[in-house]
């Protein structure tokens, strides 16, 4: 039913992303795109070995999604920049995030990166306790002088996912599964629905969140993801896009059982899931290049940059986009490239709220 087009491997569309490094902006808390951010000053190599600490979001390394993308950037810093790296994972409820940051700081790691907006309050507090150390937080803005916010235009990449889904679907019925009903995940929903509606204005998009705002279990509950997607497929949804971290595995399982399609998130999940039974249902993944953000941040700090700014990774710098592994959207390349260009040129304004 899914056809041979999903069996072959294709080269990803995100190769060779070149982004500029982050520098001090006087603690303004404003945002710039990665391509606009100035580079740092003199190299800090003479100041000693580069030691980079990273504290994962809930789920930790091995989630095949958000955390693994951050780790890929950390590994690249080790390989390309010679960094000494250390990673830590929080407790299941995330209650020890601040403790992890202090543990890394006390061990001499600088810079230190918190993966996920849930680190916001902890990094704000710990950064004041260690003013000589540089921190970064993924998915949260900051105006602290020694904290850099690494932000992403998730709505733009999700818009492309919506265009792809609506174009591929024979019906006018699609779905979206969000992990936590937070402002961040609503950006994914908003972009996806807008992309779908741009192709099929009368389409129905079922939306389900696995846990309410403030309750992070929705990012680590494959069973809930499976149940939510099963319901959507049973109700007629043809393609389901998830932004639910580890719970997305359940979405893929439901798609395989129903003989339908799904769209992954954050990493190229066709590659990261590595399950021959699930790969054929993963039409594409909305790539959120946390790996690029982490690596470019570390590189900038090595070059002498300081915090106090927020950098946005958007379509213009390929900070978000769609994977092509598996060939599921190869036939849409011309159309998706045109939509991407219109977004970059400002002809299409993508909503960040539903």
- CATH code of 262's domain: 3.40.50.2300
According to the model, what pLDDT value does residue 312 have? 95
According to the model, what pLDDT value does residue 137 have? 97
According to the model, what pLDDT value does residue 24 have? 28
Asked whether residue 99 is assigned to any structural domain, the reply reads yes
According to the model, what pLDDT value does residue 49 have? 84
According to the model, what pLDDT value does residue 12 have? 34
Q: How far apart are CA 83 and CA 80, in angstroms?
A: 8
| DSSP secondary structure letters along 225-244 | HHHHHHHHHHTT-SEEEEE-
Asked whether residue 22 is assigned to any structural domain, the reply reads no
Asked whether residue 350 is assigned to any structural domain, the reply reads no
Asked whether residue 93 is assigned to any structural domain, the reply reads yes
Q: Are residues 80 and 142 in the same domain?
A: yes
Peptide bond into 73 cis (omega under 30): no
pLDDT tens per residue, range 58-109: 878 887 778 998 999 999 999 999 999 999 999 988 899 999 999 999 999 9
Q: Are residues 149 and 159 in the same domain?
A: no
Q: Is the pTM of this model over 0.85?
A: no
Query: 86 lies in which domain range?
Result: 31-153+290-317
Strand arrangement, sheet containing 261-266: 204-211, 173-180, 239-243, 261-266, 282-288, 320-322
**Which pair of structure tokens corresponds to residue 210?**
């696995």
Q: Are residues 210 and 336 in the same domain?
A: yes
pLDDT under 70 in the chain at which residues? 1-48
Q: Are residues 169 and 278 in the same domain?
A: yes
Q: Are residues 128 and 169 in the same domain?
A: no
Q: Are residues 60 and 124 in the same domain?
A: yes
Asked whether residue 349 is assigned to any structural domain, the reply reads no
According to the model, what pLDDT value does residue 65 have? 75
- 325, exposed or middle or buried, with CB in 10 Å at 0-12, 13-18, 19+? buried
Q: How many domains does the chain have?
A: 2
Residue spans of alpha helices (H) in the chain: 66-81, 97-106, 120-129, 154-168, 183-199, 222-234, 248-258, 269-273, 290-302, 333-344
């Amino acid at each position: 039913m899914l056809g041979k087009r999903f069996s072959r491997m294709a080269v990803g569309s995100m190769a060779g992303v070149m982004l500029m490094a982050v520098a001090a902006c006087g603690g303004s808390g404003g945002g710039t795109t990665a391509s606009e951010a100035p580079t740092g000053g003199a190299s800090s190599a003479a100041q000693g070995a580069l030691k980079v600490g990273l504290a994962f979001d809930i789920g930790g390394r091995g989630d095949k999604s958000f955390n693994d993308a951050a780790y890929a950037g950390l590994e690249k810093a080790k390989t390309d920049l010679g960094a000494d790296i250390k990673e830590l994972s929080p407790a299941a409820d995330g209650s020890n995030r601040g403790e992890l940051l202090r543990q890394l700081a006390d061990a001499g790691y600088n810079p230190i990166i918190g993966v996920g907006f849930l680190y916001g309050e902890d990094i704000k507090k710990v950064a004041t306790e260690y003013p000589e150390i540089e921190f970064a937080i993924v998915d949260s803005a900051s105006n602290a002088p020694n904290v850099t916010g690494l932000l992403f235009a998730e709505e733009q990449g999700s818009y492309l996912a919506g265009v792809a889904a609506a174009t591929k679907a024979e019906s006018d019925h699609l779905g979206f599964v969000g992990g936590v009903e937070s402002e961040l995940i609503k950006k994914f929903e908003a972009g996806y629905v807008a992309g779908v509606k741009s192709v099929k204005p009368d389409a129905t998009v079922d939306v389900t969140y696995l846990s309410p705002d403030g309750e992070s279990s929705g990012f680590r509950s494959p069973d809930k993801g499976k149940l939510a997607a099963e319901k959507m497929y049973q109700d007629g949804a043809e393609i389901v896009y998830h932004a639910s971290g580890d719970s997305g595995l359940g979405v893929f399982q439901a798609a395989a059982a129903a003989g339908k399609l799904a769209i992954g998130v954050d990493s190229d999940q066709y590659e990261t899931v590595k399950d021959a039974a699930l790969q054929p249902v993963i039409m594409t993944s909305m790539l959120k290049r946390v790996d690029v953000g982490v690596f470019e941040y570390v590189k900038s700090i090595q070059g002498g940059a300081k915090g106090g700014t927020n950098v946005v990774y958007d379509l213009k710098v390929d900070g978000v986009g769609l994977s092509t592994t598996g060939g599921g959207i190869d036939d849409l390349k011309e159309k998706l490239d045109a939509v991407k260009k219109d977004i970059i040129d400002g002809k299409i304004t993508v909503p960040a709220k539903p």
